[in-house]
Amino acid sequence: MTSYSIYSPIVGLTELVTPRVLFTCMFVPLIIIVGESIHYYGRKVLNHAFGENRAISHAVTMLLRFGWYLIAVGLLLWNLGIKDYDPEQSDIFTSVSLRLGVSLFVLGFLHGVNILAVSILHRKAP
């Protein structure tokens, strides 16, 4: 006799949703949205900073954009490679929030360094 249980699909779902999968599903769209917003508004700032030299402004914009996504992919792969200390004791939301928080902090810090570098270059321009 076949027995049907509601519990069986739920167990399969919890085994499928790991901290790595949940982190990836949250991190990738967030990075794309933030990256495109930074690109949109940053392009205006760089056009103003470099004035008539649109070629340099476009090149710097693209280099910053490539740098953003390279760092984001690097952080994603790094976080996917991190092992949890104790899977039986760790909470999935704690693990995901820690990974997401550290990644966003690093991206924000490095983006701030990029903006500082552009500001310094702008001051040195004739």
Please provide the DSSP assignment of 55-89 as one string.
HHHHHHHHHHHHHHHHHHHHHHHHHHHPPPS-TTT
CB-CB neighbours of 42 under 10 Å: 21
With residue 96 as reference, give the H or E element that holds it. Answer: helix 92-124
Across the range 80-90, mean pLDDT stands at 63
pLDDT over 70 (residue 124): no
Residue 102 lies in a domain: yes
Residue 48 lies in a domain: yes
Contact 103, 27 (CB under 8 A): yes
Residue 105 lies in a domain: yes
Give the residue with greater pLDDT, 6 vs 124: 124
Domain that holds residue 31: 18-124
Residue 80 lies in a domain: yes
Would you place residue 90 in the very low, low, confident or very high pLDDT band (cuts 50, 70, 90)? low
pLDDT of residue 36: 92
Residue 3 lies in a domain: no
Where b means 16+ CB within 10 Å and e means fewer, 50-67 reads beeeeeebeebbeebbee
- pTM of the complete model: 0.64
Residue 8 lies in a domain: no
Residue 13 lies in a domain: no
Which amino acid belongs to residue 13?
L
pLDDT over 80 (residue 71): yes
pLDDT over 50 (residue 7): no
Distance CA 104, CA 27 (A): 9
**Total structural domains in the chain?**
1
Write down the mean pLDDT value for the chain. Answer: 76
Residue 110 lies in a domain: yes
